[in-house]
Structure 1
Amino acid sequence: MIQAIAFYLFATVVIVAGALTVSSRNPVNAVMWLILAFFNAAGLMVLCGAEFIAMLLVIVYVGAVAVLFLFVVMMLDIDVAEMRAGFARYWPLGLGLALILAAELVIYGVGAVSIGNAQLAHRVGAIPAATPNIEALGDLLYTRYLFVFEGAGLVLLVAMIGAIVLTHRERKGTRYQNVSRQVARRPQDATRNVDQPVGVGLEL
């Protein structure tokens, strides 16, 4: 009974937070709703017995990806009025894509119900049922889906570099660090040994 109540609570919050993420006109609020959706999705993963996936959602998506989104949105200083004008211009295209995705979900859901118990775990990979989920996930990621896993890491790396490039701004009158000059400096030029006598002040 408690598991059913927790499932419906987490599922409802995920759906509401996802809808508010898409419909929110303030990008900062949209990222906050996205973080809430990630947390409740992690709760659903815990109910399903996939604790490792739940920790990945909290650590990777909430702790890294969502915070990166929030950092980029706040650093770019987005003009909300201009963004609303763009939203009004492209809403028919967005609505069409949303209808296509909804139709795909409905068609797949009806197909899954019609065939009964689909046993998706056996369709993904032939792993014994006694194998823990973390070990099974690692076995699939680093054998069958190795290139897909590396590609996902490459996409995250490109996103991180893009966020750094977008937020980097040259400021006039600011002294920047010269790494090559610091590395080429000799130790005798950086430090000076002084034989300081007792009872005498230090001369600068």
Structure 2
Amino acid sequence: MSRSLRRGALAATALVISIASLTACGAGNDAQTLGVKPDNAAVSVGTIKVQNAVVITQPEAGAKGPAAVSATIFNDGSKDETLEAIELPGAKVTVKLKPATGSGPVTVPAGGSVVIGGKGNASAEIENGHEAAKNGDTQEVVFRLSETGDVKLQALVVRATSYYKDFGPTAAPSQPAGTPTASPTGSPTGSPAATPTGTATAPAAGSEASATPSGPASASHADH
């Protein structure tokens, strides 16, 4: 084979591999179902598969507030399973589970799936999440199911930006530095009680004379 033909064959092979890789990335790990960047942590135990698992922190680096676990759990079995808990071993935090609607347990239906994270889906909020995970690290996450038991994996810790902004925790409230936390809500409605309300009545000049007895009594003194 000539050198030019060999180069053409190699270029064609590289193009085929590139297209195949892009196709795999677009369809892998149920990317369209979640709408989240594919190729995150995934694991299978028995009839349970956990895909696209990530720990999502506040959008601002170093911001305090809750974090969240996002994942899709598939149940290929013939029996519903309950997601009893999500734990982060080694971190002293609590993960609060909540179903998509109402209250009660998060159910992974037989032959179906449940999405955790995102609007209208079940949620898993990590209290004090900024203390439990560091952006860019991996964090062990345990999904505890009623029938399968513990399903463990190492999840990437990311901020709630880009692909993950719609699946992350509620943003922590912010307050400008130096802003007082409370201010008076009203103004005085009256005047001080000690303020004089009338005009002082001081004795007028010559008032002493008016106090001198007048009339017949004065005349009797003059006779003496």
Question: Which protein is richer in helix relative to its size?
Answer: 1
| TM-score normalized with structure 1 length | 0.20
Structure with the bigger percentage of strand: 2
TM-score (ref. length: structure 2): 0.19
Question: Highest CA radius of gyration, 1 or 2?
Answer: 2
